[in-house]
């Protein structure tokens, strides 16, 4: 017998989490699939369930001196249509699942689910987002890049609730979002890539690149990014092959029901090549 808890405030939710081992259910678009039962029967939960998506104080998007805050109960649809949200994230969200799922699935649920194919995780990492986790003991902040530890493994203690994801101001004037799936809409990614850069007088002043679906967690290399920062367009172009091959070394794709490792690696290499071409053409 499992219990369901439907708190009316974050404070109450944290109190429940301090006393009971619970699944946290936001939109349920991942959790209900993981816990699905035979056709026609209710999902099978083996421990208590804490519902959070109806808590009013857990919804909303706002800006302050720390950056853009997206509260944990905010749906993908709200993120997609908010003018406060960076276009890179809105693009990724607009291609996630389908319109109906985006009306109840949450942005925080995507990263907390820690699927290698989680589209928005890649954008969270490239934009240096930070998760706010709260418990009765207090709050802590974890970078999105460090939060995902592996497939469905995250840096969260059982009594903690993610209450916000925070996007600090990042200096860039060009971006790219690539998602390759089996079809245009309602498609789980085979490979995806999010990139940002700042170009100033034909020099790369800032650069960040993250791949998803090609390893157990998002792939980002600060070492390579630092090598590229400050390079002139001519040098970027001269080093294109080197850059592609260095990123290819970090990519460890697998064969699964959606694609082969070989296909994923080829697509990822093509994506980097296209990204470099976009940068040196001066496109935004
Ligand atoms: C048909 C279909 C298509 C899909 N297509 C895509 C796609 O194209 N791309 C993609 O990336 N995903 C896709 N998904 C997966 C899913 O929709 C997303 O991952 C979504 O963002 C999950 O959000 P949710 O609110 O529904 O999470 P839930 O299912 O409620 O929760 C997911 C996980 O996050 C945890 N969690 C949720 N909120 C919190 C919180 N506040 N604190 C701590 N832990 C929390 C839950 O405990 C659970 O482990 C698809 C799903 C379906 C069913």
Closest atom, ligand 1, to C-alpha of 34 = 29
Is 1.10.472.10 the CATH number for 4-167? no
With beta carbons less than 8 A apart as the criterion, state whether 29 and 153 touch: no
Q: How far is the CA of 95 from the centre of ligand 1 (A)?
A: 14
- Of all protein residues, the one whose alpha carbon is nearest to atom 14 of ligand 1 is 97
Residues 6 or more apart from 272 whose CB is under 8 A from it?
193, 209, 243, 244, 247
Note the pLDDT tens digit of each residue in 235-263.
999 999 999 999 999 988 777 777 888 88
Query: If we measure between CA atoms, which residue out of 14, 12, 9 comes closest to residue 134?
Result: 14
State percent of the chain over pLDDT 90: 79
Query: If we measure between CA atoms, which residue out of 171, 224, 173, 229 comes closest to residue 204?
Result: 229
Q: Per-residue pLDDT averaged across 22-43, rounded?
A: 91
| Tokens of residue 96, six digits | 């996630």
pLDDT band at 284 (very low <50, low <70, confident <90, very high): low
As annotated, the residues of the chain forming the CATH 3.30.465.10 domain(s) are 4-167
pLDDT at 252: 84
Q: Per-residue pLDDT averaged across 186-212, rounded?
A: 90
- Of all protein residues, the one whose alpha carbon is nearest to atom 6 of ligand 1 is 97
Q: How far is the CA of 115 from the centre of ligand 1 (A)?
A: 9
As annotated, the residues of the chain forming the CATH 3.30.390.50 domain(s) are 174-281
With beta carbons less than 8 A apart as the criterion, state whether 9 and 73 touch: no
- Report which secondary-structure segment, H or E, holds 263: helix 261-281
Query: If we measure between CA atoms, which residue out of 157, 132, 156 comes closest to residue 143?
Result: 132
pLDDT at 253: 78
pLDDT at 283: 60
Q: How far is the CA of 70 from the centre of ligand 1 (A)?
A: 15
Indicate the top mutation candidate among 4, 29, 210 to test ligand 1's pocket, ranked by most ligand atoms within 8 A of CB: 29
Q: How far is the CA of 112 from the centre of ligand 1 (A)?
A: 7
Whole-model pTM over 0.75? yes
Closest atom, ligand 1, to C-alpha of 53 = 25
pLDDT at 12: 98
Q: Per-residue pLDDT averaged across 92-103, rounded?
A: 95
- Of all protein residues, the one whose alpha carbon is nearest to atom 33 of ligand 1 is 113
- Record: fold of 174-281: Enolase-like; domain 1 (3.30.390)
Q: How far is the CA of 74 from the centre of ligand 1 (A)?
A: 12
| Tokens of residue 251, six digits | 């990519």
First-to-last C-alpha distance (Å) of the chain: 55
Closest atom, ligand 1, to C-alpha of 95 = 8
Q: How far is the CA of 26 from the centre of ligand 1 (A)?
A: 8
Note the pLDDT tens digit of each residue in 148-174.
999 999 999 999 999 999 999 999 999
Ligand 1 binding site (Cβ under 6 Å of any ligand atom): 23-31, 33, 52, 72, 96-97, 101, 105-106, 108-110, 112-113, 117-119, 156, 161-162, 186-188
Query: If we measure between CA atoms, which residue out of 241, 248, 256, 246 comes closest to residue 225?
Result: 246
Partner residues linked to 193 by β-bridges: 178, 211
Closest atom, ligand 1, to C-alpha of 33 = 53
């Amino acid at each position: 017998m499992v219990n369901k808890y439907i708190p009316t405030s974050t404070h109450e939710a944290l109190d429940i989490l301090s006393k009971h081992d619970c699944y946290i259910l936001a939109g349920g678009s991942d959790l209900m699939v993981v816990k699905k039962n035979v056709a026609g029967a209710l999902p099978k939960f083996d421990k208590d369930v804490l519902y959070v998506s109806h808590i009013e104080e857990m919804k909303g998007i706002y800006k302050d001196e720390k950056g853009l805050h997206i509260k944990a109960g905010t749906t993908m649809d709200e993120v997609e249509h908010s003018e406060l949200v960076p276009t890179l994230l809105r693009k990724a969200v607009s291609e996630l699942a389908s319109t109906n799922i985006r009306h109840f699935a949450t942005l925080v649920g995507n990263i907390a689910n820690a699927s290698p194919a989680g589209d928005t995780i890649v954008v969270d990492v490239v934009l240096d987002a930070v998760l706010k986790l709260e418990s009765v003991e207090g709050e802590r902040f974890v970078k999105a890049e460090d939060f995902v530890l592996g497939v469905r493994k995250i840096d969260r203690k059982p009594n903690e609730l993610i209450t916000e994801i925070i996007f600090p101001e990042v200096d860039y004037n060009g971006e790219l979002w690539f998602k390759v799936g089996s079809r245009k809409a309602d498609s789980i990614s085979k490979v995806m890539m999010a990139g940002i850069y700042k170009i100033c007088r034909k020099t790369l002043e800032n650069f960040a690149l993250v791949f998803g679906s090609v390893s157990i967690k998002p792939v980002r290399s600060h070492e390579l990014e630092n090598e590229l920062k400050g390079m002139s367009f001519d040098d970027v172009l001269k080093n294109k092959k080197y850059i592609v091959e260095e990123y290819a070394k970090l990519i460890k794709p697998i064969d699964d029901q959606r694609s082969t490792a070989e296909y994923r690696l080829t697509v990822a290499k093509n994506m980097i090549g296209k990204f470099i071409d976009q940068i040196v053409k001066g496109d935004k």
